[in-house]
């Protein structure tokens, strides 16, 4: 089991930002640190909970969730995202987040980090999250919103010109395109206002909180249309399945 750290033992913000900048060449340190930080500050009880790690990738978050005492089922559709599993990560199942191979009310919680921008239909994913949660169960959903500085993933910052013009300029200036996560091919523009609206009108889930994932104390940004789309680098929603 991973030992819990005191806050004084955490790398500082600058160190984590340097890990983020190096993420494309060396993803391990950044994602391992983010997984540990996320679980240390998790807003829901994990010990003994049956949790779905939706969009699990190589398993950094699943491993941290299990270290906190959760039983984890891991799911991802993209073989590239899965890659080589990290040591100790729960075994992953290949499945579509919009058509999950689980029964109704199968989980106490659903953890979903950076998946929504990789699906053309976030509403279908929210529907499935609601379906597989038990009444009173929680959902933890985050994604990189399109107009954040890294919203275009591999073509950033050219995504600010739009999906098609951004791809064209990236190709012209860089001479090639990223191998994965091009707009409308593994990456879809996903906006905070749109996702908030579909969650708020969903009959089976309650929105508990919305905040910028990396600086949640500034959750007031979520109340300002337009500004939130640019200033929140990653949006976090906390949900509860209605009884």
| β partners of residue 110 | 52, 139
DSSP 34: H
pLDDT at 166: 95
State pLDDT tens for residues 126-159: 999 999 999 999 999 999 999 999 999 999 999 9
Q: Does the pLDDT at position 7 exceed 70?
A: no
pLDDT at 78: 74
The proportion of the chain whose per-residue pLDDT surpasses 90, expressed as a percent, equals: 75
pLDDT at 2: 42
Q: Specify the higher pLDDT residue, 23 or 209.
A: 209
Helix %, strand %, coil % for the chain, to 5?
40, 20, 40
C-alpha span between 195 and 85 (Å, rounded): 30
CB 141 within 8 A of CB 196: no
- Assign 3 a pLDDT band (cuts: 50, 70, 90): very low
CB-based contacts of 146: which residues, under 8 Å, 6+ apart?
Answer: 117, 152, 159, 189, 190, 191, 229
Mean pLDDT lowest among 32-41, 81-90, 104-113: 81-90
Q: Does the pLDDT at position 89 exceed 90?
A: no
pLDDT at 34: 83
Per-residue pLDDT, averaged over 4-17, amounts to 55
Q: Does the pLDDT at position 15 exceed 70?
A: no
Q: Which of 39, 56, 66, 53 is nearest to 109 (CA)?
A: 53
pLDDT at 1: 40
**Exposed/middle/buried for 173, CB within 10 Å: 0-12, 13-18, 19+?**
exposed
pLDDT at 20: 56
- Assign 26 a pLDDT band (cuts: 50, 70, 90): low
Q: Map out the domains of the chain with their CATH numbers.
A: 7-145+190-241 (3.40.50.150)
Residue 34 to residues 11, 23, 157, 179, Cα–Cα distance (Å): 11, 12, 23, 24
In which residue are the tokens 């909970």 written? Answer: 49
- Assign 242 a pLDDT band (cuts: 50, 70, 90): very high
CB 53 within 8 A of CB 64: no
pLDDT at 79: 55
Q: How many CB atoms lie within 10 A of CB 20?
A: 18
Dihedral of CA atoms 104, 196, 145, 172 in degrees, nearest 10, equals: 100
Mean pLDDT lowest among 21-25, 166-170, 218-222: 21-25
Quick one: which H or E segment has residue 209?
strand 205-212
State pLDDT tens for residues 157-168: 999 999 999 999
**Average predicted confidence (pLDDT) for the chain:** 89
C-alpha span between 129 and 133 (Å, rounded): 6
- Assign 13 a pLDDT band (cuts: 50, 70, 90): low
Quick one: which H or E segment has residue 186?
strand 186-187
Tokens of 118: 């990789």
């Amino acid at each position: 089991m991973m030992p819990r750290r005191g806050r004084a033992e955490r790398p500082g913000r600058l160190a984590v930002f340097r890990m983020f900048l190096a993420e494309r060449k060396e993803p391990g340190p950044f994602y391992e640190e983010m997984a540990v930080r996320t679980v240390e500050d998790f807003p829901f009880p994990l010990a003994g909970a049956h949790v779905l790690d939706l969009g699990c990738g190589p398993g950094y978050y699943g491993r941290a969730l299990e270290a906190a005492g959760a039983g984890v089922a891991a799911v991802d559709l993209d073989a590239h995202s899965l890659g080589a599993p990290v040591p100790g990560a729960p075994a992953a199942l290949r499945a579509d987040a919009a058509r999950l191979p689980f029964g109704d009310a199968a989980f106490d919680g659903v953890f979903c980090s950076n998946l929504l921008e990789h699906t053309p239909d976030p509403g279908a994913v929210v529907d499935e999250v609601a379906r597989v949660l038990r009444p009173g169960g929680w959902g933890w959903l985050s994604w990189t919103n399109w107009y954040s500085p890294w919203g275009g993933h591999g073509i950033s910052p050219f995504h600010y010109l739009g999906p098609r013009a951004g791809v064209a300029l990236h190709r012209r200036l860089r001479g090639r395109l990223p191998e994965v996560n091009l707009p409308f091919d593994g990456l879809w523009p996903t906006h905070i206002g749109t996702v908030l609206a579909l969650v708020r009108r969903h009959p089976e889930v309650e929105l508990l909180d919305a905040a910028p994932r990396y600086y949640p104390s500034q959750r007031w940004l979520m109340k300002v249309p337009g500004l939130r789309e640019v200033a929140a680098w990653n949006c976090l929603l906390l949900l509860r399945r209605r009884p």
